[in-house]
Copies of this chain bind each other. A is one copy, B any other.
Amino acid sequence: MEDLPRYLAIARQLEALLDSGELPPGSRLPPVRQLAAQHGVNTLTALAAYRHLEERQRVVARPRAGFFAALPGADAAGRAERPTPSVATLVDVESRMSNLIRLSESPIRQQLHMAEAHNSLYPALELSRRVQQTLARQPELIGAYLPAARQALLHQQISQLAAEWQLDIPQDRILFTGGITEAISLSLRLLTRPGDTVAVETPVYFGLLQTLQTLGLKALEIPCTPDAGLSLEALEFALRHGAPVKCLVTVTNFQNPTGALMPEDNKKRLLQLARRHGLPVIEDDVFGELYFSGAHPPPLKAWDRDGDVIYCSSFTKSFAPSFRLGWLSGGRRHADLARQRESSSLVSPALLLGVLSDMLASGDYARISQRIRQQLARQLDQLADAVLAAFPRDTHVRRPQGGMLLWVEGPEGLDSRQLLQAALTHSISFAPGLLFSAEPRFGHCLRLNFGQPWSAQLAEDIRLLGSLAQQQLQTS
C-alpha cells in the first residue's frame, strides 16, 4: 500500500463508503475542497480521487453541482449520454482530422478509422522500464536540451539506421520534430505562402488536406493507384501544362490510404521529373519501417544527389506512438528548416530522445520494430480475408506490402458514408473514402486499419460491416 498514490487511497476509502451504503446511490458527495481538507491533501488530489471513481462509474459529475454517488445502472446511462458522432460533420475539409480525432474519443468499441495500431502492439512495459533506467542513470536528461555528446550519438544512430534504408544522411542534417506532422508542416511553411498550390496524391491522407487548408494552400490532386502509387504520367502532364505548383508531398512507401509502394524505377523517374521542373519534394516515409518482407524500401531520397527532397520520417507508427518523435533531413533547405523549427517549438523532449537513443543502442528498437512488423503482416491477412469474404461481390482490395492500412474499393453503388452511419450504431468505425479528397470522390471506398489484433469480435464486426454493405446495395 505504501506507494499507492494519495488520490487512489482516498478513492478506495470513498469506494468502501459507497459499497457499505454509507454514501447511498444518488447522494451528494462532499465538495472537492471539503474532501481535500478532510484528507489534508490539495484539491487536485481530491479531484483526482473523484475522477478515478467517475471512470469506474461509481460517481457522477454534474456540471456546477458537484459529484454524486452513481445510481445503479448508471453505466449504460452514462454511455448513452455521450453523443454518437454525426457523419455529416466529418466532411468539412478544414476539420477532417480534428473530427476524426473526436471520433476516437467517443465510446466506439471497434475503432478502425485512424492510421493507428492497437496499443498492445507497442512495448509499454519495456518502455516504462527503460525510461526509468535512462533517467536514473542520466539525470541530465531532465534538462530542456539534449547534451551535445548525447545528441551527436543520437544523430549518428539515426544516420546509421537510415543507411540501412539506402539513405546517406549526414549527422548534421537530422532534425527531430513533433511527430511527422510537424516535419511536414515546417516544410510546407518554408516552401509556400498562403494562396499557393501544392501537388498531393489522390486519394490522400485527410490530415494533409487539413494542414493545407489551415496554411491557406490549395491542393492539386494527382491520381495515385494501389499498384504503383503516384501517377508520374499525371504529374508530368500537370507540370507540362504549367500547373503553378510550389512543391509535391508524396508518401512513397505504403501510401496512406492506398498502401501503395512506389516502384524503385518510378522513384528515380519522379526525382528526375521534379529536378527538371524545379519542383521541391516533401517525402513522407512514416510507414516505410513497417515493411513485411525484405527491408525498408529505399525512399525517393536514396537517389537525391542534389538535396531537392525534404525527407520526413517518424518513430510514431513503428515504435512508440506516445513519444511523438518525428525527424526530417532537409537537403539543401536543412538550415532554414532548423531555424524555423527553433522558432516553432524549439526542441523535442530530451528525455524521450535519450530513451530512443538508448533503445537504438541496445538493439531493443530493432527487436521491437521487427515484432510489430510481423504482427501487422499477420493481421493484414486476417483482415483482408475477412473483408473479401463478407463484403459484396466486386469489392477489391490490394494487400499492401507494409504499413497498417487497407484500402477497400467497394462496388460503384456503395455509399461508404452511409455505411459508416450504420456501422456507428453498432459501435464500429472506419474512414469513409470521401475524406481522402477535397473533391467528391472515393465515395464507394473505405479505409480500414489492420493494427487491431485479430479476435472473434473483430471477425464478427467485419462480417456485420459486410452485411450492412450488402443490405445497402440491395435497398438502393
Contact = CB atoms under 8 A, between A and B. Distances in A.
A116 B144 contact: yes
A313 interface: no
A363 B338 CA distance: 38
A143 B322 contact: yes
Contacts of A14: none
A395 interface: no
Interface stretch (A134-142, A221-229, A422-430, A466-474): A134-142
A251 B153 CA distance: 36
A214 to B, nearest CB: 4
Contacts of A320: 142
A127 B134 CA distance: 11
A350 B322 contact: yes
Contact of A182 (B97, B106, B344): B344
Contacts of A101: 145, 342
A205 to B, nearest CB: 12
Given A51-B156, A140-B119, A346-B178, A42 B339 contact: no
Interface in A168-190: 177-179, 181-182, 185
A345 B55 contact: no
A149 B145 CA distance: 31
A116 to B, nearest CB: 6
A245 interface: no
A133 B127 CA distance: 11
A316 interface: yes
Contacts of A131: 128, 131-132, 135, 351
A48 interface: yes
B346 A181 contact: yes
Contact of A7 (B54, B177, B361): B361
Which among A142, A182, A316, A339 has the greatest number of chain B C-beta atoms within 10 A? A142
Contacts of A210: 339, 342-343
A447 B339 CA distance: 23
A309 to B, nearest CB: 21
Contact of A361 (B44, B179, B215, B339): B44
Contacts of A24: none
A345 B342 contact: no
A362 B132 contact: no
Given A133-B3, A339-B95, A345-B185, A144 B361 contact: no
A345 B366 CA distance: 26
Contacts of A140: 119, 124
Contacts of A407: none
A94 interface: yes
Interface residues of A, number: 97
A215 B366 CA distance: 39
Which among A157, A177, A207 has the greatest number of chain B C-beta atoms within 10 A? A157
A383 interface: no
A349 B349 contact: yes
Contacts of A418: none
Contact of A128 (B125, B132, B349, B365): B132
Contacts of A214: 339-340, 343-344
B48 A361 contact: yes
Contacts of A454: none
A160 interface: yes
B349 A143 contact: no
Contact of A43 (B5, B160, B347): B160
B322 A142 contact: yes
A76 interface: no
A231 to B, nearest CB: 26
Given A132-B129, A343-B214, A139 B160 contact: no
Contact of A41 (B139, B323, B363): B363
A44 B119 contact: no
B139 A44 contact: no
27 contacts: A44-B366, A47-B156, A47-B157, A47-B361, A48-B157, A94-B339, A95-B339, A116-B143, A119-B139, A119-B142, A119-B143, A122-B143, A123-B142, A125-B135, A125-B139, A128-B132, A128-B133, A142-B321, A142-B322, A144-B322, A181-B342, A181-B344, A181-B345, A181-B346, A182-B345, A185-B343, A322-B352
Given A5-B358, A54-B149, A215-B343, 10 more contacts: A5-B362, A6-B363, A43-B160, A44-B363, A47-B157, A94-B339, A119-B140, A125-B139, A142-B320, A178-B344
